């Protein structure tokens, strides 16, 4: 049963949280009716997947280390390696898929390591549609408003975040003017941790998450990236390892921010926040996740339920992000949910799973 049909089961006690192996039925029987991550064998234990785009219950795309791109069209029962040729030295951190055939992937890194590829035939062939030539730019995330219009964001160049725009589904890209972008804080940057440092809702609204500076901020544009406003969040900052790592908006006003300190030996208090005014103001979660979280997603067609994932577990909220409790203790970096009531997660050691009961 897909996650959307299992919303009622999300009230299982936090004490029933379990690591991935147990949740998938390996090593211990799961509780009757409990929502859990059902592991899908990607066959790539050497790859860390921080890029995930779930199209529906059957189709999902993964992007990860070693220039790896995988695609499933049978609900994760099998995965096809559709990696672009000659990309083994690249680090893919984001993928945005429109369906089972069309997808755009982003490789991160300084200078020419930042690239964008697009496929129209399910990964059988790829076209490199953008290669960064500015040594000061480092692209982190992709996001699309629809099948034609999308953006990519880079860490600050000459004191401002750089935005790349496409109007043809990722076939071509143009750098947008920087005069509508607020000045970046000292040390401020984005985190290429889950493909969710840049997210959209509706035809024109987009949000950008930051960290590394004195304050963790969320920048918002209501005109597809031409002009931006910045808002502080209560998520801890003040260190290159701290800030907002992922955003999720269920509409143009209601959003979640998660993050913290990605270093495993550092605690992450107050590592989640919520907004009800489109990101103009942010309130801390009253009971945040217990540790750093790198990905977040609203459950399909829900006004109150969402997931947050990270290396130490998955947390769920059923009150719009005010309080969180642990659902699973397995390691995932990113999460994505689809309109047909399905949620997927992916992470280190080739891990990929679908939420089931």
Tokens of 57: 């219950």
Q: CA-to-CA distance for 313 and 19, rounded, in angstroms?
A: 8
Q: Residue 311 CB: number of other CB atoms within 10 A?
A: 16
CA atoms within 13 A on the CB side of 100: 10
pLDDT score at 39? 97
Whether the pLDDT of residue 260 is over 70: the answer is yes
Tokens of 19: 């690591």
CATH of residue 8's domain is 2.130.10.10
Higher pLDDT pick, 33 / 232: 232
Whether the pLDDT of residue 12 is over 80: the answer is no
Count of structural domains within the chain: 1
Question: Rounded to whole angstroms, what are the CA distances from 19 to 12, 36, 68, 252?
Answer: 15, 10, 26, 34
pLDDT score at 34? 81
Whether the pLDDT of residue 28 is over 80: the answer is no
Residue pair 257/233 in contact (Cβ under 8 Å)? The answer is: yes
> What average pLDDT does this structure show over 267-290?
97
Whether the pLDDT of residue 313 is over 60: the answer is yes
Q: CA-to-CA distance for 144 and 200, rounded, in angstroms?
A: 7
Residue appearing with tokens 């795309």: 61
Domain containing residue 59: 4-356
pLDDT score at 259? 98
Whether the pLDDT of residue 1 is over 90: the answer is no
pLDDT score at 357? 84
Q: How far is CA 226 from the centre of its chain?
A: 23
DSSP state of 177: P
Give φ, ψ of 320 to 5 degrees.
75, 20
Residue pair 246/294 in contact (Cβ under 8 Å)? The answer is: yes
pLDDT score at 119? 98
């Amino acid at each position: 049963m897909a996650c959307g049909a299992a919303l009622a089961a999300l009230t299982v006690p936090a004490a029933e949280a379990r690591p991935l192996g147990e949740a998938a039925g390996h090593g211990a029987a799961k509780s009757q009716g409990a929502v859990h991550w059902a592991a899908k064998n990607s066959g790539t234990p050497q790859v860390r997947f921080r890029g995930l785009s779930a199209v529906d219950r059957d189709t999902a795309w993964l992007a990860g280390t070693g220039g790896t791109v995988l695609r499933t069209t049978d609900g994760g029962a099998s995965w096809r390696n559709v990696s672009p040729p000659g990309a083994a030295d690249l680090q893919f951190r984001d993928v945005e898929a429109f369906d089972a055939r069309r997808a755009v992937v982003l490789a991160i890194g300084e200078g020419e390591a930042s690239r964008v590829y697009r496929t129209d035939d399910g990964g059988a062939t790829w076209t490199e549609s953008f290669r960064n030539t500015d040594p000061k730019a480092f692209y982190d995330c992709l996001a699309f408003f629809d099948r034609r219009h999308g953006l990519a964001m880079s860490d600050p160049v000459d004191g401002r975040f750089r935005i790349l725009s496409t109007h043809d589904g990722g076939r071509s890209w143009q750098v947008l003017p920087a005069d509508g972008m607020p000045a970046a804080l000292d040390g401020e940057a984005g985190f290429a941790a889950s493909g969710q440092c840049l997210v959209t809702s509706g035809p024109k609204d987009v949000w950008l998450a930051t960290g590394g500076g004195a304050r963790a901020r969320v920048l918002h544009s209501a005109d597809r990236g031409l002009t931006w406003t910045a808002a502080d969040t209560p998520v801890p900052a003040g260190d290159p390892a701290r800030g907002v790592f992922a955003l999720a908006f269920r509409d143009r006003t209601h959003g979640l921010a998660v993050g913290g300190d990605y270093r495993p030996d550092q605690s992450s208090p107050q590592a989640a926040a919520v907004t009800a005014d489109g990101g103009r103001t942010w309130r801390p979660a009253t009971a945040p996740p217990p540790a750093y979280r790198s990905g977040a997603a609203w459950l399909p067609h829900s006004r109150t339920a969402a997931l947050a994932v990270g290396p130490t577990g998955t947390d769920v909220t059923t009150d719009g992000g005010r309080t969180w409790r642990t659902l699973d203790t397995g390691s995932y970096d990113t999460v994505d949910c689809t309109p047909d009531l399905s949620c997927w997660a992916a992470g280190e050691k080739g891990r990929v799973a679908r939420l089931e009961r």
